[in-house]
Amino acid sequence: MTEFSANLGFLWTDLSLPDAIRAAKRRGFAAVEMHWPYATPAAEIKAALDETGLPLLGINTVRGDDGENGLCALVGREEEAKASIEQAIRYANETGARAIHVMAGFADGEQAHQCFVENLRFACDAAANLTILIEPLNHHDAPGYFLNSSSQAADIIAEVDRPNLKLMFDCYHLQIMEGDLTRRLTHHRDIIGHIQFASVPERAEPDLGEVNYTHIFAYLAELGYTAPLGAEYKPLSGKTDGSLGWMQSLLAYGGKSN
């Protein structure tokens, strides 16, 4: 049975995070995930999660200063990076979040690579009870982002050599950069920690655009992937409730939403 997670960084952004969690429950989502929830007290998030019974699949480390997109591959910013990881671990433990997406930031070169590897080892060791995720971002939305391909992510995961480090496989980003999604899902299956999706190129409802998510969802079911899939899209109308028809239409192959 295919289940979905609502990414509250893009969905129900007109509501407080606790109310967005409740909205996700009402509309049939099996889980939620968040970008940067830190302005909301963890106790309020935990109360809404307990009330609805929804798990919190993951949160991100902070972006940093204005214009930044993570700190963990930035040479010279190691102490800030570690502080951002520690902040995320505390928040995850207080809310029951299962994973932390450690954001690399805008950087390149061997020094940035080594910096990212060391910060990831720190994160994995400090949060051995959590999954640590890394996510390649596409060069249109995040030009200059350090992590920009699934093969680069796989090499880093092998080098860090920690069992709780996994790949965030975002179909939207990887379709733009690499395509061939079904083969890449098969190739990286053993290191995937979470899967997200949105239409390409709009990053809108997944029943739009060039990717056939009916096929992708069916293929994931064939692979035996059963974790909730992350709906990380921006509703074209700006209204989440009116954008959810895809939850049934894309399961035409016989799967069921929650």
- 33 is a catalytic site residue: no
- 80 is a catalytic site residue: no
Hey, what are 257's tokens?
Answer: 């939403």
Closest C-alpha to 15, from 31, 5, 4, 26: 26
Hey, what are 242's tokens?
Answer: 């009116």
Identify whether the C-beta of residue 37 lies closer than 8 Å to the C-beta of residue 91.
yes
Among 3, 79, 178, 232, the one annotated catalytic:
232
Hey, what are 26's tokens?
Answer: 């009402």
Hey, what are 74's tokens?
Answer: 């930035």
* 131-134 β-sheet, strand order: 31-33, 4-7, 229-231, 192-197, 165-170, 131-134, 99-101, 59-60
Among 135, 159, 178, 222, the one annotated catalytic:
135
Taking the CB of residue 122, how many other CB atoms lie within 10 A of it?
Answer: 18
Pairwise CA distance, residues 24 & 22, whole Å:
5
What phi, psi does 188 have (nearest 5°)?
-100, 10
Return the active site residues. Answer: 135, 232
